[in-house]
Structure 1
């Protein structure tokens, strides 16, 4: 079972991580630093998207509370 996992890992390290390795060589950095940067950026952008979603939900709820139609003057 472990040999299958190692073969899969080796395949992805050889073919999938070549992009970050090549980028690291061009920038003069370590490949590990480039991979960590992409991981951190993906978490940051996911968090920003979630924060925007919550902000929009709050604004829509606030808009619904402000602009509700009242049936009469006495519903205040």
Structure 2
């Protein structure tokens, strides 16, 4: 059961921790632990930030993909 949950989150994660890790040159595991620990302390506020960042990154990659397609024509 735990393995299925881990596989689900690894496969369908939004890439927020990866993006932040690459941007600030910090390991992804430290950023994930930061989100987990602060979500317990701040009653879910970091989860709201995480989902907001996921939406922004998804829109950003969608726009980049569309821009490349228009210039390739």
Given the two structures, how large is their TM-score scaled by the length of structure 2? 0.46
Given the two structures, how large is their TM-score scaled by the length of structure 1? 0.44
Which has the bigger relative contact order, CA under 8 A and spacing at least 6? 2
Q: Which of the pair has more CA radius of gyration? A: 1
